Structure 1
Amino acid sequence: MRVLAALSGGVDSAVAAARVLDAGHDVVGVHMALTRNRAATRSGSRGCCSIEDASDARWAAEILGIPFYVWDLSEQFEERVVADFLAEYRAGRTPNPCVRCNERVKFDALLERALALGFDAVATGHYARLTGGAATGHPGRTAGLELRRAVDAAKDQSYVLAISGREGLSRALFPLGDAPSKAAVRAEAERRGLPVAAKPDSYDICFIADGDTRGFLTRSLGTSKGALVSPDGKILGTHSGYFGFTVGQRRGLGLTRPAPDGRPRYVIETRPATNEVVVGPAELLHRSAVDGQELVLLAEPNPLGEGAVGWRDVTVQVRAHGRSVPADVAVDPVARTLRADLRQPLRGLAAGQSIVIYGTADAGSGGERALAQATVSQSR
């Protein structure tokens, strides 16, 4: 196969490209330039897609002996990820920009260009496993395609990939899905002579390199003085914009007086219409049911009785590295919605988050399978 290897400039994508090359494929490396600030530099482990990352990607390609190109996808990234991020916060929701980037840039804009140039598949350094599609030498085939968790549970990225659906994943290769650990990947990079073997991982939101999300939102959306209120409507303080807060947040509330009972207070809700931020005790964050919209099915649902379809005895995850909890899930494929009834409460759910449904491991499958994904619309 002709495979386009996405080289971010980090160790994972470099080793992934090397493994695809070892498998006998015709490989070309490409680095996605996602920032409009051409002078952008990396700050320790913060940020990505910087000048340093592009140079590291080129260096890795030279050592592997594969052609290398830089593609400017900054316009698509700005429109499909950054603008969406700001719009979601403006609407009082909490988005995950990594989920949107995977869907709209890495498995949309990138794949679109790759197919137009005659490539069969795209390989990335994500930690996840695929069966079917390009993974079995049949790029584009969605029948039988399954997305499963990576061997290394601590690095598993199936959560952020599920939104791409079977169509988007059918031409993807994830060579690191069976890697036992990140340490093993670094060791492999060192053996191969790749210069990024010891490069630190990037974290936080890549387009907010200083890690100051509230500052970024304030600079982008401005300020608007509003009230911090208790669940019963008592004014406790002020803030400069509801969009600077997210459900479950404890620090940075700006309250000078403790709660009457001395317990910590958390953001329970943000109200865009009135520019209010509701704060209260931790128990008000607990949710036992979740509704989702924009459903993406990765497996066919089972009959549940009385015309309903979905799954029983599955697990749901609502954060990239959050714990999974058991649940029963009903879906409406026509309306593209789901409802998850949780058997254990989850804390701090916010509209806009991604919810992924996982099935328990089948005998010999070697990992939980992602069954569906949706965007949280509300929780109770």
Structure 2
Amino acid sequence: MSGGVDSSVVAALAHAAGCEAVGITLQLYDQGAAARRPGACCAGADIRDARSVAERLGIAHYVVDMESRFRESVIDNFVDSYARGLTPVPCVECNKTVKFTDLHALARDLGAEALLTGHYVQRLPCAERGDAHGELHRAADPTKDQSYFLWATTQAQLDYLRFPLGGLAKTETRALAQAFGLVVAAKPDSQDICFVPGGDYAAVVERIRPELASPGTIVDEQGRVLGRHNGIHRFTVGQRRGLDIGGQAEPLYVVGIDAAAGNVIAGPRRSLAVAAVRLEGLNRLGPGDGPLMVKVRSMAPLAPARLDGDWLLFDTPQYGVAPGQAAVAYVGDRLVLGGTMVETRRATAEAELSNA
């Protein structure tokens, strides 16, 4: 129970169904800092909201201090990724470690039959293996679907997890919160990474690793100097704003980051085209055959693709695929086949694709 409307409604649904529900809130970072800003989760006022909901429902509620674990597994990884020129997805790391590993273990220790969360995804019975083994599917409401952030879930975790909101629209969730009389019914959704106030991730990076705020060079794809920057952590592949380079024949984008040299590489939009991603460390969730669709960013549309050995080849080039992000594969447009962190390859020539 993060203190938001989604997990609060899940607790209310479980209680209404006659389950012996226990609410667990993870304190993930400094409560004092978080209490001074709205839209956070797992700290400050949000812990008080979760406790208030539990009291309203008459269920047990526990707050577990996971601040050290969260810093080591999520925040430090977030900062280190930017130092290496990558664009991390901290929600994936949080789900993979703190929530679906540590919280999963805690639920088991408490003797719980299942772990329920407020994620907008669906766990459906596996057609080939029956009800005992679940499949991960996209949410019924595609605008709220969170399956991109859950690709690292293991089959054992999925079999223990339940996602009661996966078949609902957010308006329906809020209506349920109102019907249950929950104080969070009208609480706004957080728009930021929970530990990044106001979306200023560069400030978080610099506070932990101040040496990263070092000036460097912006170069073109041939290595010619175009300008200067104030730290590679302020840039991500596909970015256009912030380069501040004028007098070019066409708009420039960040097409690469050379962390070792401290260089940001700029080029035209066509240089962002990615024809394939290498499948290294693919986490595969259950069986599945059929046409593949792939997401290469959380807000990107599904794109058709095909497997070729260790490579996933796109039918049409994808743009702005940043190293450190994930490629999540779906069978059709619903069933999550699996995912991996990606290594990209540019679409330059047909011969290059055929040799990929």
- Residues 241-250 or 98-107, more deviating: 241-250
Is 1:319 matched with 2:294?
no
SS of the residue corresponding to residue 270 of structure 1 reads strand
SS of the residue corresponding to residue 210 of structure 1 reads helix
SS of the residue corresponding to residue 198 of structure 2 reads coil
**Number of the residue aligned with 2:173:** 185
Identity %, equivalent residues? 40
4+ residue stretches of structure 1 with deviation over 6 A? none
Contact 2:135 2:158 survives alignment (8 Å): no
- In the alignment, the residues of structure 2 paired with residue 216 and residue 209 of structure 1 have an alpha-carbon distance, to the nearest angstrom, of 9
Contact 1:42 1:50 survives alignment (8 Å): no
Is 1:13 matched with 2:15?
no
TM-score, normalisation: structure 1: 0.85
The CA deviation at 1:216 is 2.0
Where do 1:1-380 residues align within 5 Å?
A: 7-41=1-35, 43-45=37-39, 47-132=40-125, 141=132, 144-179=133-168, 181-221=169-209, 222=211, 223-255=213-245, 257-259=246-248, 261=249, 263-300=250-287, 313-330=291-308, 338-360=310-332, 368-380=334-346
- In the alignment, the residues of structure 2 paired with residue 117 and residue 48 of structure 1 have an alpha-carbon distance, to the nearest angstrom, of 23
The CA deviation at 1:150 is 0.8
Could you give the per-residue CA deviations for residues 147-201 of structure 1, whole angstroms, max 9, x where no partner exists? Answer: 001111100111111211212222111000111x111111111111011011000
Give 1:227's aligned amino acid.
T
Could you give the per-residue CA deviations for residues 21-74 of structure 1, whole angstroms, max 9, x where no partner exists? Answer: 2333211001110003544225343x3223110011011111111111111111
SS of the residue corresponding to residue 164 of structure 1 reads coil
Contact 1:225 1:238 survives alignment (8 Å): yes
Could you give the per-residue CA deviations for residues 265-324 of structure 1, whole angstroms, max 9, x where no partner exists? Answer: 11000001111000111111111111132210112366xxxxxxxxx6210002222211
Give ranges in structure 2 of 5+ residues lacking alignment: 347-356
SS of the residue corresponding to residue 315 of structure 1 reads strand
Q: CA RMSD in A?
A: 2.0
Aligned length: 342
The CA deviation at 1:137 is 12
Tell me: CA distance 1:83–1:137, structure 2 relative to 1, closer, same or farther (3 Å): farther
The CA deviation at 1:211 is 1.1
SS of the residue corresponding to residue 267 of structure 1 reads strand
Contact 1:132 1:170 survives alignment (8 Å): no
Give 2:325's aligned amino acid.
Q
Contact 1:127 1:158 survives alignment (8 Å): yes
Tell me: CA distance 1:42–1:156, structure 2 relative to 1, closer, same or farther (3 Å): farther
Tell me: CA distance 1:82–1:291, structure 2 relative to 1, closer, same or farther (3 Å): same
Contact 2:288 2:331 survives alignment (8 Å): no
- Residues 82-91 or 149-158, more deviating: 82-91
Could you give the per-residue CA deviations for residues 70-97 of structure 1, whole angstroms, max 9, x where no partner exists? Answer: 1111111111111111121112111100
Give 2:317's aligned amino acid.
P
Give 1:371's aligned amino acid.
L
- In the alignment, the residues of structure 2 paired with residue 295 and residue 75 of structure 1 have an alpha-carbon distance, to the nearest angstrom, of 28
Tell me: CA distance 1:208–1:348, structure 2 relative to 1, closer, same or farther (3 Å): same
- In the alignment, the residues of structure 1 paired with residue 221 and residue 274 of structure 2 have an alpha-carbon distance, to the nearest angstrom, of 16
Give ranges in structure 1 of 5+ residues lacking alignment: 1-6, 303-311, 332-337, 362-367
Could you give the per-residue CA deviations for residues 121-141 of structure 1, whole angstroms, max 9, x where no partner exists? Answer: 2111000100249xx998xx5
